[in-house]
Amino acid sequence: MIKKRFQFILTPAGCAFLVISGVILVRSLLARNFFEILLSSAALFLLLAFGFIGIWKSKKLKSLEPGWKQPFPMTANAGEEIFVSGLDVPVPMFFRLHFIVRGRFFPAGAGKKGCPVFAETSVSRGEKSALLPLDFPMSGKFTGKGFCRFKDIFGFFSFPCGIILQRTINVRSLPCFGKDHLVKAQSGAEDRRNKFSADEERYYMREYTPGDRFRDINWKSSEKIDTLITRISPDNQEKVSRIEVCFRNYISPNKAGGNTDKPSLEALWLLDRAKARLSHFLRNLMEQQSSFVFTVHAGGDSWEIDDQESLDKFLDELAGLSFSSPKNETFSAAANVNAGELYVFSTACDLALPGFLLTCHPRPVCLFLSQPDNKQSEQTEMLYKRNFLIKGCIPYPRWLVKSKIKQLGVNAGKIQNNYAGTKL
């Protein structure tokens, strides 16, 4: 948090009003028009009075520290609002407190400069808080600041006040609602976890899952918390299914929607939909069976997800994950059928995908591929470019020109295509 520096207090409307009033006053003095002299003098006096009141009050509000609380998780295109608190200060008549958010939005984490973002709300007299609409058309990362301005209701002045709040927000993809994917327990590489007696609460009991013996249910504890709890003996070894996932966030330069520095909006939207598909896959399987452990590879990095906390942390990082240049990926068990099925998520921008799938043979592969749909059928997930401006984001001009990305033909054991496109 940093204190706000001095800024120009006259708005464009205030500057225009000052110039017009000054010109009228000079002309009326030369023409000795009493009515115009009175009118222009009153206007300048009103402007001067508002200026003095604003300077006096804004100095008193220097230490104002508003609270800025955004929803968690922040989801794209969800119509969410930021709750702004700590604004319960008296303000003079004809003045209002405004809270402004200004910064840069990086769609799918891409770009060096980002899209400028501006959002503003005012606090009604007597209110202690306000809601600020802050929404984004797709997943990505927002970095910016929130601050207060003290303004008159005519829009002549805007005085800085309070303390600046810096924020970095990961915006998750709008959820997709595809088919639920069923995974058999034996399809993943299995390992065993020993349960030690060091932590009785953690290792002796857990929530009931289908397949547990009824005689192992702790009915007394289950009644207290209204949830079935299963006893686990201290020397019991519980089988865990390990599922390997590969998220290929790769783009082939100048051939599939641009490059890693300046990807097209169509390419970014395909990546966004691949992220949404991966999020749905992980959530769905974790709801099916809490014992699943996921190993996710993406862009040269790896994550292990074994509970809800690690899943939320990964999904937050995934929101800001952008395109990378193609890399040679090797997995220790890639050519081993017994290693279990490999789940691959990719886009039509990944021209190296067919070669990667060949290296996985004979290991079974399930591919989730985000493809452009030139026909734009009912199943196509559309991104409307005008939503950037509607939601306070200024898109890059080059995004207004549609980039032609060809559909990618690949061979895999199981393929699930999902289609995405853009419109003005």
Whether 224 maps to a domain, the answer reads yes
Q: Average pLDDT of 160-182?
A: 81
* 353-399: pLDDT as tens digits: 888 888 887 888 889 998 887 666 667 888 888 888 888 888 888 88
Domain co-membership, 154 together with 219: no
Report how far residue 321's alpha carbon sits from residue 300's, in angstroms, rounded to the nearest whole number: 12
Cα–Cα distance list, 379 to 121, 146, 272, 410 (Å)? 37, 39, 16, 21
* 231-263: pLDDT as tens digits: 765 444 444 578 889 998 888 776 555 666 678
Q: How confident is the model at residue 183 (pLDDT cuts 50, 70, 90)?
A: low
Domain co-membership, 16 together with 165: no
Whether 3 maps to a domain, the answer reads no
Domain co-membership, 330 together with 413: yes
Domain co-membership, 246 together with 231: no
**Beta-ladder partners of 205:** 231
Q: Average pLDDT of 151-163?
A: 89
Domain co-membership, 258 together with 375: yes
Please report the pLDDT score of residue 101 as a whole number. Answer: 92
Asked if 182 contacts 230 with a C-beta cutoff of 8 angstroms, the reply is no
Q: What sign results for the dihedral spanned by CA atoms 180, 182, 187, 188?
A: positive
* 310/336: higher pLDDT: 310
Q: How confident is the model at residue 201 (pLDDT cuts 50, 70, 90)?
A: very low
**Beta-ladder partners of 243:** 294
The one-letter amino acid code at 337 reads V
Closest CA to 160 of 60, 14, 298: 60
* 70-101: pLDDT as tens digits: 888 888 888 888 888 888 888 888 898 999 99
Please report the pLDDT score of residue 243 as a whole number. Answer: 86
* 213/54: higher pLDDT: 54
Report how far residue 79's alpha carbon sits from residue 91's, in angstroms, rounded to the nearest whole number: 30
* 207/60: higher pLDDT: 60
Please report the pLDDT score of residue 15 as a whole number. Answer: 92
Please report the pLDDT score of residue 259 as a whole number. Answer: 63
* 6/91: higher pLDDT: 91
Give the rounded percent of residues in the chain with a pLDDT score beyond 70: 81
Report how far residue 49's alpha carbon sits from residue 53's, in angstroms, rounded to the nearest whole number: 6
* 217-235: pLDDT as tens digits: 777 777 777 777 777 654 4
Asked if 237 contacts 291 with a C-beta cutoff of 8 angstroms, the reply is no
Domain co-membership, 398 together with 251: yes
* 181/365: higher pLDDT: 365
Domain CATH number, residue 132: 2.60.40.1930
The one-letter amino acid code at 405 reads I
pLDDT at residue 197 greater than cutoff 50: no
Cα–Cα distance list, 208 to 20, 163, 212, 225, 292 (Å)? 76, 49, 7, 13, 15
Which residue segment(s) compose the domain that 374 sits in?
185-191+241-423
Closest CA to 233 of 190, 197, 207: 197
DSSP SS3 for 358: helix
The one-letter amino acid code at 159 reads F
Domain co-membership, 314 together with 404: yes
* 27-36: pLDDT as tens digits: 988 888 888 8
Domain co-membership, 144 together with 204: no
Please state, rounded to an integer, the average pLDDT across all residues of the chain: 80
Last residue of a domain, one of 42, 59, 76: 59
**What values do phi and psi take at 250, rounded to 5?**
-110, 150
Please report the pLDDT score of residue 223 as a whole number. Answer: 75
Please report the pLDDT score of residue 219 as a whole number. Answer: 76
Report how far residue 341's alpha carbon sits from residue 333's, in angstroms, rounded to the nearest whole number: 10
Token code pair at residue 155:
């829009």
- Residues 6 or more apart whose Cβ sits within 8 Å of residue 325: 250, 251, 253, 260
Asked if 394 contacts 355 with a C-beta cutoff of 8 angstroms, the reply is no
Report how far residue 147's alpha carbon sits from residue 162's, in angstroms, rounded to the nearest whole number: 7
Report how far residue 147's alpha carbon sits from residue 101's, in angstroms, rounded to the nearest whole number: 7
Asked if 147 contacts 119 with a C-beta cutoff of 8 angstroms, the reply is no
Domain co-membership, 265 together with 413: yes
Q: How confident is the model at residue 209 (pLDDT cuts 50, 70, 90)?
A: low
The one-letter amino acid code at 372 reads P
* 35-71: pLDDT as tens digits: 888 999 999 999 999 999 999 988 888 888 888 888 8
Q: How confident is the model at residue 16 (pLDDT cuts 50, 70, 90)?
A: very high
Whether 179 maps to a domain, the answer reads no
**Beta strand spans in 173-228 (E):** 189-194, 205-207
Asked if 101 contacts 117 with a C-beta cutoff of 8 angstroms, the reply is yes
Whether 339 maps to a domain, the answer reads yes
Whether 138 maps to a domain, the answer reads yes
- Tell me how many domains the chain contains: 4
Lowest mean pLDDT among 113-117, 218-222, 325-329: 325-329
Torsion angle, alpha carbons of 321, 323, 328, 332, to 10: 20
